[in-house]
Structure 1
Amino acid sequence: MPGSGDGLDVVEGATVLVQGRHILDVVRGSAGVDARRVELGEGILFPGFVNLHNHSINGPIFRGIVDDVGPEATADDLVYSMLMPLGDHAGTVLAEDEIRAVYRLALMEVLRSGTTTVLEMPRAVHRSFFAVAKELGLRVFGAPYIFSRPTRGVDAAGNPVYVEIDENRSLSDALEIADEYDEGPEGLIRVGFGPHATDTCSPDLLRRIGHEARDRDTIVSIHVAQSRIEVNSVRERYGRTPVEFLHDTGLLGPNVVAAHCVHAEAGDLDLLRESGTTVAHCPLTFARSGVTVSFDRFHRHGVRTGIGTDAYNFDYFAEMRAAGFISKLTSGDSDTGNASTLLRAATDVGASALARPGLGRIEAGCIADLVAVDLSGAHLQPVRDPLKNLVWNATPADVSLVMIDGKVVVEGGAILGCDESGAIRSATAAVHKLWESAEREGILAARGCGLRA
């Protein structure tokens, strides 16, 4: 349970009483009440992970494509020449039931990793994301993509090709999704705004999104300084860094989650901190391409920093550990990125970024989003410090129970009400269909790193 500062309070032998959607009380010892009991034994109960940046459709369709791609394929190359075109292609090639199958596979992985809340940036054509999330009982903050000038691959020199579209239509599509799926402040599904990035959205569009988000009291999620290409494009157009550009348009603040900020400058960090903007830190995405991004750089600067899994793999334990290890390596300080700091970033800090009171904590009156991890495995025994065992050694396979909004959705390691084997088969068939089509279209090479030939 979150305590003061970066520390967490650990209570041994406690009982958490849940009534309806909320935690009724936390008591010492065994509670003498007439209710269903779940005994954890050698286990630890903690608030569910809040994943602050995710692209569910991308994990399955990028699997095995983004790894070990060689020095000729930088992180920027991957984003502009293959990842975005392949994601767009999925919306044109796959039928609705196939898109839904891929989302189901991805969200199964999300749930199994102990994530109870996810901030997702789906493409507007992928409305089925919300239906699948509702089906599985996941808490979702959706931020559908909005564009002024999306990219359509790269030119012969490797520069992204920007294509002007009707930004009014792009915004209205997102508003339609919000009107259809948003369940209000108390609901499991909230819909905000997802302007794609600072190089793909105009200043006017960003200002309008800021006004809409304030009027609807909802969140904005946007990619910021994630690539040198983005940074250079924004500086060339506006003479500003991406963070300065957002500041000028009024799109920084407590309701904004800025994904990545890999190339943020020192002055940018000041703007992020002073505005109360949250950085969604996703270290593994960039580590795959040999790029080091340190959680500690943001955290030490006083920037509110949560953790997301982004687009390739949804193992939240692995992402949290990567944030810690990279912080230690870059700082040379073994206590940097410690277990309590990371776990708080993964729970309470993430919940604060989404302005959802009662999330991310285990206290009377809080929302009953809870995860239990079995600590009895050989890799987790013996237990001297349960928080350190949880952060540095646990895996999704150790998650024994997931409760969201007071309802158990994962029990005994199985997702309730879900034909997992069938879901895997359906999604696999859909992704193979997409890959074959992408190869024919020249988006994906038949072998190798998967970059455009």
Structure 2
Amino acid sequence: MMEGAKPGRTLLSARWVIGHQGGRHVVHENGVVVIEGTGVLHVGTDFDGAVARRIDYGEAVISPGFIDLDALSDLDTTILGFDNGPAWQKGRVWPESYVNRGPYEMYTPEELAFQKRHAFAQLIRNGITTALPIASLFYRAWGETVAEFEAAAAAAEDLGLRVYLGPAYRTGGQVTDEAGNIRAVFDEARGLEGLAEAADFARRVDGIAGGRIRAMFAPDRIETCTGTLLQRTAEIATEMGAPVRLHCSQSPVELHLVREQHGCAPIEWLSRIGALRDTWLLPHGTQATDAEFDLIAEAQATLVHCPLVAARHGGMLKSFPKARARGINIGLGTDTHPADMILNMQIGMMTARLAEGVSAVRSEDMFDAATLGGAQALDRADLGRLSPGAKADIAVIDLRHCLQTPDPVQTLMTAASGRDMRDVWIDGRQVMADGVIPGVDAAADAARAQAQFDGLIAKYPDRTAGHPPVCEIFTPSYKRVTP
């Protein structure tokens, strides 16, 4: 019964329904949501009209689906750096010897296509209904390819995920010598060719799959982009009305390289060249200054907060409440494995309180960022909320195994995780029921993903300074005992 949107109406009921009225989320206890076609017809505590189908979820939260502005779409190599650093010694920066020999693709086209589909299924499992994919370019020959994004579009259409797609491109990269001196290297012609290919792809895919697939532009990271690339990106994206995502203000190395290249801080440079606009999405902001936050607010750009991946490596946004007080729109991105938006919100709460105190942020503030903040970033008043006329993008979170507080959002922040996701609806289509996604063999896909990841790890010496063996790059937690 999950082959697509049903004729007639479907009524969903649960102990808790997070609806939307007057510009804010509201909570209906013992509430209902009625789906008709691809949209929400009604949200409230009852419904008198006829329906074709009823599903009662009982002790659960019926929530708007989450919007992930920085959604992992590959096999996450950042987890390999969790206890292994510094990054330049552990294959996270290309050594000169690797560059001189010639960077190569470490995955096959078939593996890249599988990874997108596998990642999209993980997003759905975690209640993410709208995603802007992100992948690392460290293991790529240069940028992402149109071919793999053609495959990504096909996977998204098949699985039912709402996505904004665009291959990542860049005009430069980072290179290290064996002493850890990192410098930037550029090939602007190659980067501009990547932009041209991305623009052609954007014009072809924008609006397909009944509007669920839209275009985006993804220049990789600010220190790997020239001004010409970013200015041309801004012009093309503005003409198309497409969002642009640019990673910036996330590391000391980035700050050093941008200041060395341009004599100022990253977001300040982006503003100076006229590229910082209201359609721009900026992960991560953990290194941004007060003056840069002011520039983001003035441009009405969106700050994409990725608290889990930042906290894993000792960073945090300083600070979530201060950025909001400046009038900055904040959305969330998972940007790591697992793609657990609930965990991401929980870590966001904790780090905000560590930075500013326990009263600085409340549960609803982080929940707003995961829903309404993403919708505002994409200029989509029909996403991130459950109200008549909105898209029927819905996450159903099972609370039967949680110790519930008197408030469902606070329960999510204290007791739930992505593993509690039960059902997901996108565009009125039930894309997951009782944790099962049609056409996806979760166990087989997990094994295939692990085999590909193990193969990538085996190649790490090629792109690690000094080319040490894998056992020296990734040191074990405890001594290995072998027979």
TM over 0.5, shorter chain = yes
Query: 1:156 aligns to what?
Result: 179
Residue 214 of structure 2 is aligned to residue 214 of structure 1: no
Comparing 42-51 and 146-155, the one that deviates more = 146-155
Other structure's SS at 1:252 match: coil
Deviations 1:108-146 (A, max 9, x none): 221111111111235522323333222221111124212
Other structure's SS at 1:361 match: coil
**Quick one: which amino acid aligns to residue 432 of structure 2?**
V
Query: 1:295 aligns to what?
Result: 320
**Quick one: which amino acid aligns to residue 318 of structure 1?**
L
Shift of 1:448: 5.0
Query: 2:123 aligns to what?
Result: 110
Output the CA distance in 2 between the equivalents of 1:435 and 1:385.
44
Aligned residues with identical type, % of pairs: 28
Normalised by the length of structure 1, the TM-score is 0.89
Show the 5 A alignment for 1:77-116.
Answer: 79-80=92-93, 92-116=105-129
Residue 414 of structure 2 is aligned to residue 389 of structure 1: no
Comparing 208-217 and 189-198, the one that deviates more = 189-198
Output the CA distance in 2 between the equivalents of 1:450 and 1:161.
25
Query: 2:254 aligns to what?
Result: 230
Query: 1:322 aligns to what?
Result: 347
**Quick one: which amino acid aligns to residue 25 of structure 1?**
H
1:341 to 330, 341, 365: 365
Comparing 187-196 and 429-438, the one that deviates more = 429-438
Aligned residues: 439
Query: 2:161 aligns to what?
Result: 138
1:25 to 42, 45, 56: 42
Other structure's SS at 1:37 match: strand
Shift of 1:226: 1.2
CA spacing shift, 1:18–1:398, aligned 2, 3 Å? same
Output the CA distance in 2 between the equivalents of 1:130 and 1:154.
39
> Any unmatched runs of 5+ in structure 2?
1-18, 136-142, 476-483
Residue 457 of structure 2 is aligned to residue 435 of structure 1: yes
**Quick one: which amino acid aligns to residue 109 of structure 1?**
Q
Show the 5 A alignment for 1:37-436.
Answer: 37-59=54-76, 61-63=77-79, 65-69=80-84, 72-73=85-86, 79-80=92-93, 92-122=105-135, 123-125=143-145, 126-127=148-149, 128-152=151-175, 156-166=179-189, 167-183=191-207, 187-293=211-317, 294-332=319-357, 334-377=358-401, 380-436=402-458
CA spacing shift, 1:75–1:94, aligned 2, 3 Å? closer
**Quick one: which amino acid aligns to residue 431 of structure 2?**
V
CA spacing shift, 1:448–1:304, aligned 2, 3 Å? farther
Other structure's SS at 1:151 match: strand
CA contact (8 A) 1:339 1:392 kept: no
Shift of 1:185: 11
**Quick one: which amino acid aligns to residue 68 of structure 1?**
D
Output the CA distance in 1 between the equivalents of 2:469 and 2:310.
22
Shift of 1:152: 4.5
Shift of 1:422: 2.0
Comparing 247-256 and 367-376, the one that deviates more = 247-256
CA spacing shift, 1:101–1:191, aligned 2, 3 Å? same
Output the CA distance in 1 between the equivalents of 2:468 and 2:388.
51
Output the CA distance in 2 between the equivalents of 1:444 and 1:110.
35
Output the CA distance in 1 between the equivalents of 2:93 and 2:380.
34
CA spacing shift, 1:267–1:4, aligned 2, 3 Å? farther
**Quick one: which amino acid aligns to residue 168 of structure 2?**
Y
CA contact (8 A) 1:76 1:227 kept: no
CA spacing shift, 1:13–1:436, aligned 2, 3 Å? same
Output the CA distance in 2 between the equivalents of 1:90 and 1:239.
30
Output the CA distance in 2 between the equivalents of 1:192 and 1:408.
25
Shift of 1:91: 7.2
Comparing 442-451 and 320-329, the one that deviates more = 442-451
> Any unmatched runs of 5+ in structure 1?
none
**Quick one: which amino acid aligns to residue 384 of structure 1?**
P
Other structure's SS at 1:41 match: coil
**Quick one: which amino acid aligns to residue 66 of structure 1?**
G
Comparing 367-376 and 93-102, the one that deviates more = 93-102
Deviations 1:207-256 (A, max 9, x none): 11111001111110001111122222222222221111111222222211
CA spacing shift, 1:104–1:66, aligned 2, 3 Å? farther
Other structure's SS at 2:422 match: strand
CA spacing shift, 1:185–1:131, aligned 2, 3 Å? closer
Greater Rg, structure 1 or structure 2?
2
Deviations 1:151-188 (A, max 9, x none): 34555333144232423211112123223432269611
**Quick one: which amino acid aligns to residue 162 of structure 1?**
V
CA spacing shift, 1:435–1:76, aligned 2, 3 Å? closer
Output the CA distance in 2 between the equivalents of 1:165 and 1:203.
10
Output the CA distance in 2 between the equivalents of 1:165 and 1:432.
33
Output the CA distance in 1 between the equivalents of 2:353 and 2:387.
31
Output the CA distance in 2 between the equivalents of 1:76 and 1:301.
38
**Quick one: which amino acid aligns to residue 310 of structure 2?**
F
